[in-house]
Chains A and B, each alone.
Chain A
């Protein structure tokens, strides 16, 4: 019945041909068995890859969310635009908190003690005459 049964295509040949990796040859075109297998493959494939139904509510919800995001873009809002400002603000808050958690030490530092003692000293200050010369009440 088939003139060249020894040259029937293998299943791999059929698959490669079906996906465009192997060209049809004279045998497939003339062999009724192989031609019918090609047709059967096409029918199975059409059945399996027929576009499925997608629930319309899923698509509607998806559109709603896309529109929301589009609106944000149209308004010029973008998360990255605010990321820098937020990072700077977070750094500032961190520094302030750090500063608050380490208050200045008690006033028994030698420098402050010395300044305080000078201020409390009732003795006349040596620099007072000089201050009087450059003060606001100078007639110059």
Chain B
């Protein structure tokens, strides 16, 4: 991953450098969007929007970035939050489609653990994905960054532009809403 990313005077060189950096970050950003939005097509659009916003911002500012990874993560989170907030009014999409659920299931880890463990992991992932619909956009962002990306609470606060206390509150409320699924995940197999 590039440690610095900047806007050069030559546009072609600039675009090439941006494309190389984008390729290194693309999968991570797509997965973050997918985990926050739980819909492949929407995650795809959010990823595209994220990199385009980054490209435009770099063209405008012309400054080098010290932490481009963190910066683009913040753009991705805000893009997903905007999409989640706009979903509030879209009553026809209260839950992901069957097709999206099956895609998320297919994309579950598929290495070597025992077959029943894999099935269980897939089931519980789907249940958690469904249960995420119960969370507010901010709760979902905090939970996704903590649960899937294992980020520290201070780091999450920095990414979301919130103080640590607010992040803790969002996480606490989110976990409370996901209580059943998380208990099944960690302590039992009632899925």
Q: A residues within 8 Å of B by Cβ?
A: 11-12, 14-16, 18-21, 40-41, 44-45, 47-54, 58-59, 62-63, 65-67, 69-70, 73-74
Contacts and interface: CB of A to CB of B under 8 A. Distances in A.
Q: By DSSP majority rule, is chain A's interface helix, strand, loop, or mixed?
A: helix
A82 B109 CA distance: 46
B108 A19 contact: no
What secondary structure prevails in chain B residues at the interface with A? helix
Contacts of B172: 16, 21
A49 B145 CA distance: 11
Interface residues of B, number: 44
Nearest to B108: A52
Which of A15, A44, A52, A74 has the most chain B CB within a 10 Å cutoff? A52
Contact of A65 (B48, B124, B150, B153): B48
Contacts, number: 90
Nearest to B113: A47
Interface of B: 11, 15, 18-19, 22-23, 26-27, 30-31, 44, 47-48, 51-52, 55-56, 59, 107-111, 113, 117, 121, 124-125, 146-148, 150, 152-153, 168, 171-172, 175, 179, 182-183, 185-187
